[in-house]
Amino acid sequence: MKKRYFIILFVIGMIALSLVPFISPVRPYIQLPGEVWPGSQNWPFFGTVLGGMTNTFASTLVAWLVVIILAVSLRAGSRTADEVPTGFYNFFEMVIEAAYNFAENIAGPKVKDFFPWFMSFLLIILITNWMGLIPGWDSIGFWEFKPHFEAEKEISAIEDGLAAAELAGEEDFARYVAGLEERFHVEVHLENGHLSPETEEEIFHEIEHELDEENLGDLRVNGLLLRADKNADASIEEPETDEEGRPVGYSTEAADWTIVPVFRPGATDLNYTLAFAVIAMIMVQYYGFKYLGARDYLSKFFPFIAKGWGQQVAKDPIKAIDPIVGILELVSEISKIISFAFRLLGNLFAGMVLLFVMAFLLPIANMAFFGLEFFVGLIQAAVFGLLMLIFMVSATESHHGDEEHH
Distance separating alpha carbons of residues 304 and 129, to the nearest angstrom: 45
Residues of the chain with pLDDT under 50: 234-237, 250-252, 401-406
Extended strands (E) in 246-350: 247-248, 255-261
Task: Output 354-357 pairs: Cβ under 8 A, ≥24 positions apart.
Answer: 356/28, 356/30, 357/28
159-199 pLDDT per residue, tens: 989 989 888 888 888 999 999 999 888 888 888 888 998 99
Considering Cα of 320, then 321, then 325, then 328, what sign does the dihedral take? positive
Distance separating alpha carbons of residues 116 and 280, to the nearest angstrom: 12
- pLDDT at position 63: 92
From the number of C-beta atoms within 10 Å of its C-beta (0-12, 13-18, 19+), residue 392 rates as buried
∠ at Cα 226 (221, 230), nearest 5°?
A: 105
Beta strands 218-221; 224-226: pairing state? antiparallel
Q: Which residues of 21-43 are buried (b: 16+ CB within 10 A; e: fewer)?
A: eeebbbbbbeeeebbbbbebbee
36-70 pLDDT per residue, tens: 888 787 788 776 677 788 999 999 999 999 999 98
Residue type, 26: V
* Nearest CA among 171, 207, 167, 170 for reference residue 186: 207
Considering Cα of 135, then 138, then 139, then 140, what sign does the dihedral take? positive
Tell me the β-bridge partners of 1. Answer: none
